[in-house]
Structure 1
């Protein structure tokens, strides 16, 4: 059921993105896509609560709310009599970036052959790097690595495919020369992949050698690795935006859209009291 919702969301977003800008109906189609997309994210907290990843619980809820804010904004743009629409067209740019990123990510998430392929590739790369570093790890299965009697399973979330898809969507969505887009791609996707391999190695080593005591995996994976990944993605995003300044308008526009919506909602609630 949830898989169908994802494809429905992407279909509406793509359809709304390819329709000529002068046809306002495209904004309504995109808004519908964002609503379906929010359903996907609001479905995720249960999974992350099961594995004790409270950071991602809050993150997916926040993403779901942002999806609804964008859907609300695009609905207002559709109902507006202004045929030209806002400039720059932040909501349309965000929709294109999301649709393209989703088209890249969802096949890996939902097609078993691609899912197994990407996980096995990352597992092999992690195992190779640990061997190169002289760490006596053992591959106990196609997606499991053990160290010092402690075993870690590599899953899709350990492949950084979400972050890679995000940057692919963002880079492909901007109107910029192909050379600059290629430079931005090389400065982000390969870098993210390599940094993620290092991250996985750190988690396995910290857990295998119990660096942080009985809670080594939780501390290494849910805290230290999360903070490190956030800093790394911020640095990569900074470099990409230096190469593609057009992305600055998109990110700043989304931020202003969200903060503006929150401020209006706050004043409305306070004013009714």
Structure 2
């Protein structure tokens, strides 16, 4: 059920991205696509609650709300029948293109068993090789499981950094810039994200194996320390990418302005009632 909702959202956003800008129906398709996309994100909190990943619980709820705000603004743009003029950043369209491209890259890995197994196997092998290179007596307990010091960790899709990689690919590909700049932005983001993720997985496995933080070592290492470290790393990488592609600054500022204006309008309504 939820997979169908997801593919409907991606199809609508892709259609919005491909239809020429002068055709206003694209804004309506984009608005509906963002609405469906929000359903996907609002469906996620229960999964993260079950695995006690409360940072992601908050994150997916925030993403779902942002999706609804983008849907609302695209619907307003459609109803106003006003085209975005040349030289003006069309924030909702740019965000839709970036999301459609990122989704097209990511969701095949999430939905197709062959790609899912391939990326997880690749990361598992790289993590195992790194542990061996560091002198750790790790063992392959299964094709996607690594054992160390009597403790076993399973590598799942979320451990591959494919979400972050897809996000940066979508953002970079959505920008109209010279190929040299696009390739530079790719090289300072995707390979570095993949490498840092291998280091993150190694850290979590070693911390859990030797109980560095007591009985809750896995939760502390994975849900807290690794999350904070990943956030700082992604922030730094995003800063470098935006220096290369300043058009992304306009996108982020536009979305921030859109979200804050919407929240402020809700606040004003509540205050005046």
Cα separation, 2, equivalents of 1:119 and 1:132:
20
Corresponding position: 1:2 with 2:31? no
TM-score (norm 2): 0.98
SS at match of 1:88: coil
Q: Distance in 1 between matches of 2:9 and 2:82?
A: 26
Q: 1:112: Cα distance to partner?
A: 0.3
Q: Deviations over 1:86-142 (max 9, x none)?
A: 921000000000000000000000000000000000000000001111111111000
Aligned-partner SS, 2:188? helix
Q: Secondary structure at the match of 2:212?
A: coil
Partner of 1:38: 38
What corresponds to 2:263 in structure 1?
Answer: 262
Partner of 1:174: 175
Q: How does 1:70-109 map to 2 (within 5 A)?
A: 70-84=70-84, 87-109=88-110
SS of residue paired to 2:193 = helix
Aligned to 2:115: 114
Q: Structure 2 regions of 5+ residues with no counterpart?
A: none
Match of residue 163 from structure 1 = 164
1:244 is aligned to 245
Residue 210 of structure 1 aligns to a residue in which SS? coil
Deviation at residue 22 of structure 1 after TM alignment: 1.1
Kindly indicate whether the alpha-carbon contact (under 8 Å) linking 1:207 and 1:216 is maintained by their aligned counterparts in 2: yes
Matched, 1:189 2:224: no
Structure 1 residue 83: Cα displacement: 3.2
Distance in 2, matches of 1:14 and 1:204, equals 39
Q: Which residue of 2 aligns with 1:141?
A: 142
Tell me the residue number matched to 1:126: 127
Q: Secondary structure at the match of 1:214?
A: helix
| 1:28-65 CA-partner distances (Å, limit 9, x unpaired) | 00000000000100111111111111111111111001
1:52: which partner in 2?
52
CA distance in 1, matches of 2:131, 2:215: 22
SS in 2 for 1:145: strand
Scaled by the length of structure 1, the TM-score of the pair is 0.98
Pairwise CA distance, 1:84? 3.6
Tell me how far apart the structure 2 counterparts of residues 74 and 260 of structure 1 sit (CA, whole Å). Answer: 15
